[in-house]
Structure 1
Amino acid sequence: IETSCDETAAAIVEDGKKIISNVVASQINIHQKYGGVVPEIASRKHMEYIIPVIDKALDESEKKITDLSAIAVTYGPGLIGSLLVGLSVAKAMAYAQNIPLIGINHLEAHIYANFLEHNEIKPPFVCLIVSGGHTSLVYIRNFEEYKLLGQTKDDAAGEVFDKIAKVLDLGYPGGPITEKLAKEGEPSSIKFPRPLLNDKSYDFSFSGLKTAVIYYIKEL
């Protein structure tokens, strides 16, 4: 069960890797008019969607709740109100069925999602996590054994995409729209700053780039 931001999701998984069903209820159309996710609205919509999403996931997998051997749920990081909806339902289900409740770190889940499509990957390896409010470079020494190599010192990459898209009035979510338009442009036509190129760390910085783009747009 995943409710860390604005999507309500539930999947039935077998043996840790085989996805039998995967149901996602999106809130994009609801938050579009605000130009970003409104936490209070997101949590209320999770309350509305969570049970139908879980029921649909069970139906599509042709399983019953009594067939489940455990409940896994995102506990963070994320929007606190949204997380509480998923956690509350997951706890109730696990308690009612007397099965284990497994708390999942949102960022750790991004790392392990790679194994679903690339089961040939074996530790050690380096993973770049670029998700919404997070931009991190992580060394996976072994399963459940990590070392943070670097992370953003200010804005996350996803936040910058959304903010620039909002300034350009491109719509929400800004990332996919900006990416699509960028592919149609000329990469070398505008010179923007590239911070930390001479820095010996593995950290990122996107705030200066964001500001430079905003000033460039205002001067057009």
Structure 2
Amino acid sequence: MPVLGIETSCDETAAAIYDGERGLLAHALYSQVALHAEYGGVVPELASRDHVARINPLIREVLARANLRPDQLTGVAYTAGPGLVGALMVGGAVAAGMAAAHNLPLIPVHHMEGHLLAPMLEADRPQFPFMALLVSGGHTLLVAVRGIGDYEILGESLDDAVGEAFDKTAKMMGLPYPGGPHLAKLAQLGTPGRYKFPRPMTDRPGLDFSFSGLKTAVLTALPKGATDQDKADIAHGFQEAVTETLAIKCARAIEQTGFPALVVAGGVGANLRLRERLGEFARKNNISLHFPRHEFCTDNAAMIAYVGWARRSQGQHTHTLLARPRWPITELETV
């Protein structure tokens, strides 16, 4: 039962095909990082125009790799939200057109559900229920996942998402766009312990996060005329503060729920230091730890195709185009 997945929520254009029996058959992605780099962030109008130019060639590419014709698909899934409304409409319109042309079910997918379930693409997939740490440029969430569509948000950021904090801190230090990966790489050259930044909201109960104050602490600590070593030491201290904060909150969430597994997803899930910290916690506490492979941490269509297949297999589909730039994940239907 192969399902095509389309992803155009922000600045990646992607297509993939997932089959319940054979797994992921093909996936392809085009990143707009170079397009937006000179502006220091995503320009929505440019993103939408580039999606228009890229999406159909990518769909043809994955169909060819999977050796399938469009009429051999059993559904077309697409990211319906959250995201940039113009970008969402591009993917949604293409998906709706394909579905209508080939009489296929149309399956709108929640982008964050895609990230939550991305580890299902791996051979070592988690079993329900599990705790999920969703960390990206736009979201920081601790989610109790009891089944597909059965999600409870236990904690979230009260201000900046963790990926946003990485990017903004990197920008303060003059690092290239997108800053998060550059900051993480620079942190590897830093001197441990030279800069000790606060671990926000870890001195009080609860599972919420806050990273805006941590950014301010970095700005205050950054000396005028900072050397490359100063920046590396600050990057190291910042990354240590963020990853320890996330690890502390994950430990609390696991203790609160008693879930035997932890999933880490989203772009920041590719951070090596975060993986090390959570790996240490999981080993000490006999917790099963799951990450998607690096290429499926950031936005991709493989996760959209998987969720589309899962919901299609339960009979969920529509014939109406949906685009929701704001869409709480708790409003999803359980399957």
- TM-score above 0.5: yes
Counterpart pick for 1:63 among 62, 65, 68: 68
Query: What residue in structure 2 maps to residue 116 of structure 1?
Result: 121
Quick check: 1:190 aligned with 2:195?
Answer: yes
State yes or no: 1:75 paired with 2:80. yes
CA contact 1:47–1:85 (8 Å) conserved in 2: yes
Question: Which residue in 2 is equivalent to 1:168?
Answer: 173
Contact 1:17–1:116 (8 Å) recurs in 2: no
C-alpha separation between the residues in 2 aligned to 1:150 and 1:17? Answer: 36
Query: Following superposition of structure 1 onto structure 2, how do residues 74-113 of structure 1 map, counting pairs within 5 Å?
Result: 74-113=79-118
Q: CA deviation at 1:163?
A: 1.0
The question of 1:128 aligning with 2:106 is answered no
Q: CA deviation at 1:16?
A: 7.4
Percent of pairs with identical residues: 49
Contact 1:136–1:148 (CA under 8 A) maintained in structure 2 = yes
Query: Does the aligned pair in 1 maintain the 2:75–2:107 contact within 8 Å?
Result: yes
Partner in structure 1 of residue 294 of structure 2: none
Structure 2: gaps (5+ residues): 1-5, 227-335
3-state SS in 1 of match to 2:135: strand
Superposition deviation, residue 199 in structure 1: 2.1
Paired position in structure 2 for 1:201: 206
1:142 shift after superposition:
2.3
SS in 1 for 2:199: coil
Counterpart of 2:163 in structure 1 is 158
Tell me how far apart the structure 2 counterparts of residues 15 and 187 of structure 1 sit (CA, whole Å).
Answer: 46
Question: How far off is 1:89 after superposition?
Answer: 0.5
Give the CA deviation at 1:88. Answer: 0.7
Match of 2:292 in 1: none
- 1:49 equivalent in alignment to 2:54: yes
Change (3 A) 1:16 1:137: farther
Q: Which secondary structure state, in structure 2, belongs to the residue aligned with residue 34 of structure 1?
A: coil
Where has structure 1 moved over 3 Å in runs of 4 or more? Answer: none
Quick one: distance in 2 between partners of 1:5 and 1:156?
Answer: 16
Matched, 1:18 2:23: yes
**1:119 Cα offset (Å):** 4.1
**Secondary structure in 1 aligned to 2:38?**
helix
In 2, Cα distance between equivalents of 1:102 and 1:46: 19
SS of aligned partner of 1:193: coil
Aligned-residue offset at 1:160 = 1.1
Which region of structure 1 is more displaced relative to structure 2, 122-131 or 14-23?
Answer: 14-23
User: Per-residue displacement from partner, 1:5-55 (whole Å, max 9, x unpaired)?
Assistant: 100000011117711110101111111111111111111111111111111
- Aligned-residue CA RMSD (Å): 1.4
**What secondary structure does 2:174 align onto?**
coil
Using CA pairs under 8 Å that are at least 6 residues apart, name the structure with larger relative contact order, 1 or 2.
Answer: 2
Aligned to 2:285: none
* Residues 185-217 of structure 1: per-residue CA shift (max 9 Å, x gap): 123110212210122110110000011112222
Given that 2:7 and 2:78 are in contact with CA atoms closer than 8 Å, whether structure 1 keeps it comes out as yes
Could you say what secondary structure the match of 2:151 adopts? Answer: strand
TM-score normalised over the length of structure 2: 0.63
Q: Distance in 2 between matches of 1:92 and 1:211?
A: 47
CA distance in 2 between counterparts of 1:22 and 1:5 reads: 18
The answer to whether the 8 Å contact 2:119/2:125 transfers is no
SS in 2 for 1:24: strand
Q: Does the CA-based 8 Å contact 2:13-2:31 persist in structure 1?
A: yes
Q: Can you give the 5+ residue segments of structure 1 that lack an aligned partner in the other structure?
A: none
1:111-138 superposed Cα distances (whole Å, 9 cap, x missing partner): 1101111544111110000122111000
Deviation at 1:101, TM superposition (A): 0.7
117-126 or 131-140, which deviates more? 117-126
Counterpart residue number, 2:238: none
Q: Is the 8 A contact 1:94 1:101 kept in 2?
A: yes
Distance in 1 separating the partners of 2:54 and 2:158: 35
Q: Equivalent residue for 1:2?
A: 7
